[in-house]
Amino acid sequence: MKLSTAEDRGHLPSISANRTLAPQYFPLVALALLCLFAINANADADKSVAVGVRMQGGEVIVDVNCYVRATPQEAWAVMTDYDHATDFISKLEKSVILSRTDEMFVVSQMGRMGYGPFSVRIEAVTEIRLIPFEEMHARLISGNLKKNESLTRLIPDANGTRIVYHLESIPDAWVPPIIGRALVEFETRARFRQLLDEILRRKAVAEAKR
């Protein structure tokens, strides 16, 4: 559907008192109501995962800063376990390493973002360049995004590892600014929380076997 001039400016078209909402706008309104859940949930979200989201034109910029009481090696083992990522990351339906070397992975992933019938499918083949236990730089090769590049850094200290993540992404479809930002923030925080939980779970299992 071609967007109207009002929508091109980032606003929904106005509705007069004597007009009903056009059927084609029902999904947007439903998504707005569903995203109220995300906004409210973020108010009480896990403060150990700091997420910042900016939307500049059509680009979505995400920054994450979180901490886990595990070594960089323990965190790295989970973060690069792409073949089993669907076991601990919800909404990720497929994750397969297509090729690998000591310095690079090529990974195919498929998943969803959003809720129920208003979710968006994301498909990507990504090249991930590795500096073991320190950095991973991911770059989109193909998929239904226009751009998707990220840099993840692992910074150790005496008690654990700080994970710093930066993403620059351009979706293939228009994203409502306020609703989209809240939804991306909610989904990103949930995904990193699941990642940290898996790191700690595997660490506990390994320690129990010693």
Question: Any alpha helices (H) in the chain, and if so which ranges?
Answer: 5-8, 26-43, 72-79, 177-208
Ranges of each domain in the chain? 18-208
Report the pLDDT value the prediction gives residue 116, as an integer from 0 to 100.
63
Report the pLDDT value the prediction gives residue 117, as an integer from 0 to 100.
59
Question: Residues 7-45: pLDDT tens digits?
Answer: 344 433 333 334 444 444 445 444 554 555 544 444 444
Spell out where 9-160 has E strands.
49-56, 59-68, 92-100, 104-113, 120-131, 135-143, 145-156
**199 φψ region: left (φ > 0), alpha (ψ -120 to 50), beta (else):** alpha
Q: Spell out a b/e string for 24-50, using b for 16 or more CB atoms within 10 Å of the CB, else e.
A: eeeeeeebeebbeebeeeeeebeeebe
pTM of the shown model: 0.78
Between residues 120 and 162, the one the model is more confident about? 162
∠188-190-192 over CA atoms, to 5°? 70
As a whole-number percent, the residues of the chain with pLDDT over 70 amount to 75
CA 184 – CA 39 distance, rounded (Å): 10
Question: Residues 48-104: pLDDT tens digits?
Answer: 899 999 999 889 999 999 999 999 999 999 999 999 999 999 999 999 999 999 999
Report the pLDDT value the prediction gives residue 199, as an integer from 0 to 100.
98
The residue type of 80 is T
- Alpha-carbon torsion (196, 64, 188, 43), positive or negative: positive
What is the four-CA torsion angle of 81, 117, 54, 104, rounded to 10 degrees? 20
Between residues 177 and 117, the one the model is more confident about? 177
State which CATH number among 3.30.365.10, 3.40.50.300, 3.20.20.70, 3.30.530.20 fits the domain covering 18-208: 3.30.530.20
- The overall average pLDDT reported for the chain is 83
Question: Residues 40-61: pLDDT tens digits?
Answer: 444 444 568 999 999 998 899 9
